[in-house]
Amino acid sequence: MALFLLVVIVAILLGLIGVVVHGLLYLLVIGIVLLIADLVFVGVRASRRKGVQR
């Protein structure tokens, strides 16, 4: 869970830096991709956990 929160914080920070510094739009893109990948990872992990309990 701590790793999930760390990745979310890093994604938000990269996005904010990318927006503030107009020439660093790629940081915003990296932050969004990182956040989406993290949410997919958590979703897959949660679905596996539900399957094991059945």
The pLDDT, as a whole number, for residue 53 is 59
Give the separation between CA 42 and CA 36, rounded to whole angstroms: 10
Task: Output the pLDDT for position 20.
Answer: 80
How much is the pLDDT for 54? 52
Per-residue pLDDT of the chain (54 residues; tens, 9 = 90+): 677 778 778 877 877 777 787 767 777 777 788 888 888 888 888 888 776 655
Q: Where are the alpha helices (DSSP H) in 1-54?
A: 2-20, 25-53
**What does the alpha-carbon distance between residue 46 and residue 24 come to, in Å, rounded to a whole number?**
34
pTM exceeds cut of 0.85: no
- The pLDDT of residue 1 is 61
Judged by phi (left if over 0) then psi (alpha if -120 to 50, else beta), residue 21 lies in beta
